[in-house]
Amino acid sequence: MKPLSIRLCGYGGQGIILSAIILGETAVTKQGLYAVQTQSYGSEARGGQCQSELIISDTPIRTPIQEKNDILVALFQTAFRSYVPGLKKDGLLIVDSELVPDLSGVGSEVSIYKIPATEIAIGLGNKMAANMVVLGYLQAKTNLFTKEHLLDVVRDTVKPRFWDLNKRAVEAGVQFALDPEDKADETL
Protein backbone atom coordinates (compact mmCIF):
# COMPACT_ATOMS: atom_id res chain seq x y z
CA MET A 1 0.00 0.00 0.00
CA LYS A 2 1.36 3.39 -0.93
CA PRO A 3 1.20 6.00 1.83
CA LEU A 4 -2.39 7.11 2.39
CA SER A 5 -2.93 10.59 3.77
CA ILE A 6 -6.10 11.36 5.74
CA ARG A 7 -6.83 14.84 7.07
CA LEU A 8 -9.62 15.37 9.58
CA CYS A 9 -10.67 18.93 10.33
CA GLY A 10 -13.28 20.75 12.34
CA TYR A 11 -13.38 22.73 15.55
CA GLY A 12 -12.14 22.01 19.05
CA GLY A 13 -14.49 19.79 21.02
CA GLN A 14 -15.59 17.66 18.05
CA GLY A 15 -13.08 14.89 18.74
CA ILE A 16 -11.07 15.49 15.57
CA ILE A 17 -7.70 14.67 17.12
CA LEU A 18 -9.09 11.70 19.06
CA SER A 19 -10.51 10.36 15.80
CA ALA A 20 -7.13 10.54 14.07
CA ILE A 21 -5.46 8.84 17.03
CA ILE A 22 -8.03 6.02 16.92
CA LEU A 23 -7.52 5.56 13.18
CA GLY A 24 -3.74 5.47 13.63
CA GLU A 25 -3.96 3.01 16.53
CA THR A 26 -6.23 0.77 14.47
CA ALA A 27 -3.81 0.80 11.54
CA VAL A 28 -0.79 0.00 13.73
CA THR A 29 -2.15 -2.39 16.35
CA LYS A 30 -4.75 -4.23 14.29
CA GLN A 31 -3.46 -4.07 10.72
CA GLY A 32 0.30 -4.15 11.31
CA LEU A 33 0.78 -0.96 9.31
CA TYR A 34 2.88 2.12 9.98
CA ALA A 35 1.21 5.39 10.92
CA VAL A 36 2.23 8.96 11.68
CA GLN A 37 -0.20 11.49 13.11
CA THR A 38 0.20 15.26 13.43
CA GLN A 39 -2.21 17.81 14.82
CA SER A 40 -2.79 21.51 15.22
CA TYR A 41 -5.44 23.52 16.99
CA GLY A 42 -6.23 27.04 18.09
CA SER A 43 -5.65 28.34 21.59
CA GLU A 44 -9.34 28.04 22.48
CA ALA A 45 -10.26 25.05 24.65
CA ARG A 46 -13.35 24.48 22.51
CA GLY A 47 -14.58 26.08 19.33
CA GLY A 48 -11.30 26.99 17.61
CA GLN A 49 -10.36 25.40 14.32
CA CYS A 50 -8.36 22.17 14.58
CA GLN A 51 -7.02 19.51 12.25
CA SER A 52 -5.11 16.28 12.34
CA GLU A 53 -3.29 14.55 9.52
CA LEU A 54 -2.71 10.82 9.53
CA ILE A 55 -0.46 8.95 7.13
CA ILE A 56 -0.81 5.17 6.91
CA SER A 57 1.54 2.89 4.97
CA ASP A 58 2.80 -0.67 4.84
CA THR A 59 6.37 0.64 4.78
CA PRO A 60 8.12 3.03 7.20
CA ILE A 61 6.99 6.63 6.76
CA ARG A 62 9.84 9.05 6.18
CA THR A 63 7.97 12.33 6.58
CA PRO A 64 4.92 13.22 8.67
CA ILE A 65 3.54 15.55 5.98
CA GLN A 66 2.14 14.80 2.54
CA GLU A 67 1.81 17.49 -0.09
CA LYS A 68 -1.80 16.48 -0.84
CA ASN A 69 -4.35 14.40 1.06
CA ASP A 70 -6.08 11.31 -0.32
CA ILE A 71 -9.01 11.73 2.07
CA LEU A 72 -10.43 14.85 3.70
CA VAL A 73 -12.99 14.59 6.49
CA ALA A 74 -14.50 18.00 7.26
CA LEU A 75 -16.85 18.66 10.16
CA PHE A 76 -16.88 22.47 10.06
CA GLN A 77 -17.27 24.93 7.16
CA THR A 78 -14.31 27.17 8.03
CA ALA A 79 -11.96 24.19 8.42
CA PHE A 80 -13.24 22.76 5.13
CA ARG A 81 -12.35 26.00 3.34
CA SER A 82 -8.86 25.90 4.85
CA TYR A 83 -8.05 22.32 3.84
CA VAL A 84 -10.00 21.51 0.67
CA PRO A 85 -7.20 22.98 -1.52
CA GLY A 86 -4.93 20.23 -0.14
CA LEU A 87 -7.18 17.39 -1.31
CA LYS A 88 -5.92 15.39 -4.29
CA LYS A 89 -7.89 15.99 -7.47
CA ASP A 90 -9.18 12.39 -7.36
CA GLY A 91 -9.50 12.33 -3.57
CA LEU A 92 -12.31 11.32 -1.26
CA LEU A 93 -14.22 14.00 0.65
CA ILE A 94 -16.50 13.22 3.59
CA VAL A 95 -18.43 16.09 5.16
CA ASP A 96 -21.00 16.53 7.89
CA SER A 97 -23.83 17.69 5.63
CA GLU A 98 -25.32 19.96 8.29
CA LEU A 99 -22.07 21.72 9.22
CA VAL A 100 -20.44 21.91 5.77
CA PRO A 101 -23.23 22.94 3.37
CA ASP A 102 -21.06 24.91 0.90
CA LEU A 103 -18.78 22.66 -1.13
CA SER A 104 -17.43 25.30 -3.49
CA GLY A 105 -13.78 24.76 -4.32
CA VAL A 106 -14.05 20.99 -4.70
CA GLY A 107 -12.59 19.59 -7.90
CA SER A 108 -14.86 17.76 -10.34
CA GLU A 109 -13.01 14.43 -9.93
CA VAL A 110 -13.35 14.32 -6.13
CA SER A 111 -15.73 11.69 -4.72
CA ILE A 112 -17.99 13.56 -2.30
CA TYR A 113 -19.89 11.86 0.51
CA LYS A 114 -22.25 13.71 2.81
CA ILE A 115 -23.43 12.33 6.15
CA PRO A 116 -25.58 14.11 8.73
CA ALA A 117 -23.19 12.94 11.45
CA THR A 118 -24.19 15.49 14.08
CA GLU A 119 -27.88 14.83 13.48
CA ILE A 120 -27.31 11.07 13.82
CA ALA A 121 -25.31 11.59 17.02
CA ILE A 122 -28.07 13.77 18.48
CA GLY A 123 -30.50 10.97 17.69
CA LEU A 124 -28.26 8.63 19.69
CA GLY A 125 -28.36 10.99 22.65
CA ASN A 126 -25.21 13.10 22.40
CA LYS A 127 -23.94 15.31 19.57
CA MET A 128 -20.39 14.74 20.85
CA ALA A 129 -20.50 11.28 19.24
CA ALA A 130 -20.58 12.73 15.71
CA ASN A 131 -16.87 11.96 15.30
CA MET A 132 -17.55 8.27 15.98
CA VAL A 133 -20.40 8.28 13.46
CA VAL A 134 -17.90 9.59 10.91
CA LEU A 135 -15.30 6.94 11.86
CA GLY A 136 -17.86 4.20 11.23
CA TYR A 137 -18.80 5.82 7.94
CA LEU A 138 -15.15 6.14 6.89
CA GLN A 139 -14.50 2.49 7.77
CA ALA A 140 -17.43 1.28 5.68
CA LYS A 141 -16.61 3.49 2.68
CA THR A 142 -12.88 2.71 2.56
CA ASN A 143 -12.48 -0.75 4.14
CA LEU A 144 -9.08 0.33 5.46
CA PHE A 145 -9.78 -2.00 8.37
CA THR A 146 -12.67 -3.99 9.77
CA LYS A 147 -15.45 -2.57 11.90
CA GLU A 148 -14.45 -5.01 14.64
CA HIS A 149 -10.87 -3.73 14.68
CA LEU A 150 -12.09 -0.14 14.81
CA LEU A 151 -14.48 -0.94 17.67
CA ASP A 152 -11.71 -2.75 19.58
CA VAL A 153 -9.58 0.40 19.52
CA VAL A 154 -12.51 2.68 20.33
CA ARG A 155 -13.34 0.49 23.36
CA ASP A 156 -9.71 0.59 24.52
CA THR A 157 -9.48 4.37 24.01
CA VAL A 158 -12.67 5.93 25.36
CA LYS A 159 -13.74 6.01 28.99
CA PRO A 160 -15.92 3.00 29.90
CA ARG A 161 -18.95 5.20 30.59
CA PHE A 162 -18.86 6.41 26.97
CA TRP A 163 -18.28 3.00 25.37
CA ASP A 164 -21.93 2.14 24.63
CA LEU A 165 -22.67 5.51 23.02
CA ASN A 166 -19.50 5.41 20.92
CA LYS A 167 -20.15 1.82 19.82
CA ARG A 168 -23.67 2.75 18.71
CA ALA A 169 -22.30 5.83 16.92
CA VAL A 170 -19.71 3.82 14.97
CA GLU A 171 -22.37 1.28 14.03
CA ALA A 172 -24.77 4.05 12.94
CA GLY A 173 -22.07 5.49 10.67
CA VAL A 174 -21.45 2.07 9.13
CA GLN A 175 -25.19 1.57 8.57
CA PHE A 176 -25.53 4.97 6.90
CA ALA A 177 -22.63 4.15 4.57
CA LEU A 178 -24.16 0.80 3.63
CA ASP A 179 -27.51 2.37 2.69
CA PRO A 180 -27.96 1.78 -1.06
CA GLU A 181 -29.12 5.39 -1.40
CA ASP A 182 -25.75 6.69 -0.10
CA LYS A 183 -23.77 7.32 -3.26
CA ALA A 184 -21.01 9.76 -4.07
CA ASP A 185 -22.55 13.14 -4.84
CA GLU A 186 -21.43 14.21 -8.28
CA THR A 187 -23.42 17.45 -8.26
CA LEU A 188 -22.13 20.60 -6.65
Q: Where are the domains of the chain?
A: 4-178
Q: Please give the pLDDT value at position 188.
A: 42
* Position with higher pLDDT, 186 vs 109: 109
User: Hey, how many other C-beta atoms are within 10 angstroms of the C-beta on 98?
Assistant: 16
* Position with higher pLDDT, 64 vs 133: 133
Element (H, E) at 170: helix 163-178
53 close to 86: Cβ distance less than 8 angstroms: no
Q: List, in order, residues 6 or more apart from 147 with CB less than 8 Å away.
A: 136, 139, 140, 170, 171, 174
Q: List, in order, residues 6 or more apart from 95 with CB less than 8 Å away.
A: 73, 74, 75, 80, 103, 112, 113, 114, 115
Band of the pLDDT at 43, cuts 50, 70, 90? Answer: low
Question: Domain 4-178 falls in which CATH fold?
Answer: Pyruvate-ferredoxin Oxidoreductase; domain 3 (3.40.920)
- Tell me the pLDDT of the chain averaged across its residues: 93
The mean pLDDT of 126-131, rounded to a whole number, is 97
Residues 122 and 186: their CA atoms lie apart, in Å, by 28
Which residues on neighbouring strands pair with residue 72, listed in sequence order? 7, 93
* CA-based end-to-end distance of the chain: 31
Amino acid identity, residue 79? Answer: A
pLDDT at 57 over 60: yes
Band of the pLDDT at 41, cuts 50, 70, 90? Answer: confident
For 137-182, the pLDDT digits (tens) are 999 999 999 999 999 999 999 999 999 999 999 999 999 999 877 6
